[in-house]
């Protein structure tokens, strides 16, 4: 089985993490990682990136908009 | 209607204000992110979210519980956002992948080319990151989080929306595909581009500091 070059490994990393690689491709990917420190590090950094992404704040409705909605709720449901 | 969902619906119907405040608080983030995928400005997306909540209040008595309450609310949101997007002549091509998204996500110059000893292999391994990058509460993690927030701002809309829904807000790929009306394959391409850019953003920050 041909080895997967690093350049392709980094492009299938999301498929790997999503569990959407076929078993053959998955085996090639994992075999490559066992012998390649650079790609192993890249995968580790991708996982760290996902951890940090989970802590990024996201905009929500302004407090004004939220209180307008609560008023509408009072008017409609009481 | 099963368990908690039934209780929540009953609470809303009974005029339980705290229950309503809680779902507005919890669900408006993903709703705002989703809405932004169909309309042209953040202000417009906010109006779509407000309009959706008003429609939910008016329609809650008619909700039959065939889907979860959240799915029902998100569907109203997507429909509202889509019709507004049409009025604004805004159409993000969710169903197709643009040409600039078909190529590699990572700079090909990072790898050796055909004439070199190991074609397709790294020219130089990615530099190691300090462990604190992933240690929640560390100074560096805080800086990296701010850096990522600004990387997100620079991403193309579709990539930003998919990445935000999946990795920032934690929605499943099935849910994201259904809400945006895209295939798993297209979602994966957008997610991959966005994640690659996010990692590169951290790498540039860590190496530069």
3-state helix, strand, coil in chain A (%, to 5): 70, 0, 30
pLDDT for the residue numbered B72: 92
Do the domain assignments include residue A1? no
What domain range includes position B180? 124-208
Which of B152, B148, B150, B158 minimizes the C-alpha distance to B190?
B158
Q: Which of B127, B167, B170, B185 would you mutate first to test chain A, the one with the most A CBs within 10 A?
A: B167
**Whether residue B83 sits in one domain with residue B20:** yes
Do the domain assignments include residue A37? yes
Cβ–Cβ pairs < 8 A, chains A and B = 143
Report chain B residues whose CB lies below 8 A from the CB of A21: none
CATH code for the domain of B64: 1.10.1740.10
Domain total for chain A? 1
For residue B122, with 0-12 CB atoms within 10 Å meaning exposed, 13-18 middle and 19 or more buried, which class applies? buried
CATH code for the domain of B181: 1.10.10.10
N-to-C CA span, chain B: 54
Interval B80-90: pLDDT, tens? 999 998 888 87
Inter-chain contact B13–A77, Cβ cutoff 8 Å?
Answer: yes
pLDDT over 90 for what percent of chain B? 68
Interval B102-119: pLDDT, tens? 677 888 899 999 899 999
What domain range includes position A16? 6-77
Do the domain assignments include residue B27? yes
CATH code for the domain of A45: 1.10.10
pTM score: 0.89
Task: Tell me the shortest Cα–Cα distance from B46 to chain A, in angstroms.
Answer: 7
pLDDT for the residue numbered B142: 93
Residue B38 · residue B82 · CB < 8 Å: yes
Q: What is the mean pLDDT of residues A30-48?
A: 96
pLDDT over 70 for what percent of chain B? 93
Do the domain assignments include residue B101? no
């Amino acid at each position: 089985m041909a080895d997967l070059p690093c350049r392709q490994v980094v492009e299938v990393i999301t498929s790997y993490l999503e569990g959407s690689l076929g078993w053959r491709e998955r085996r090639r990917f994992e075999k490559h990682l066992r012998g390649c420190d650079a790609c192993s590090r890249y995968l580790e950094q991708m996982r760290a990136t996902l951890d940090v992404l989970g802590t990024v704040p996201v905009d929500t409705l302004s407090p004004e908009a939220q209180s307008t909605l609560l008023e509408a709720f009072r008017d409609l449901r009481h | 209607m099963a368990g908690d969902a039934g209780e929540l619906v009953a609470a809303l119907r009974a005029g339980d204000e705290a229950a309503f405040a809680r779902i507005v608080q919890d669900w408006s983030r993903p709703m705002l992110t989703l809405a932004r995928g169909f309309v042209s400005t953040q202000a417009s997306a906010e109006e779509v979210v407000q309009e959706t909540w008003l429609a939910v209040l008016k329609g809650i008595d008619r909700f039959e519980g065939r889907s979860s309450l959240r799915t029902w609310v998100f569907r109203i949101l997507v429909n509202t956002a889509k019709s507004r997007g049409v009025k604004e002549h805004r159409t993000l091509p969710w169903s197709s992948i643009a040409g600039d998204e078909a190529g590699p996500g990572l700079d090909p110059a990072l790898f050796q080319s055909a004439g070199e000893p190991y074609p397709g292999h790294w020219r130089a391994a990615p530099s190691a990151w300090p462990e604190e990058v992933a240690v929640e509460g560390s100074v560096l993690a805080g800086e990296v989080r701010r850096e990522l927030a600004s990387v997100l701002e620079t991403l193309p809309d579709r990539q930003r929306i998919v990445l935000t829904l999946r990795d920032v807000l934690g929605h499943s790929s099935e849910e994201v595909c259904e809400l945006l009306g895209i295939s798993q394959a297209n979602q994966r391409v957008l997610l991959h581009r966005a994640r690659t850019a996010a990692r590169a953003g951290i790498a540039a920050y860590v190496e530069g500091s």
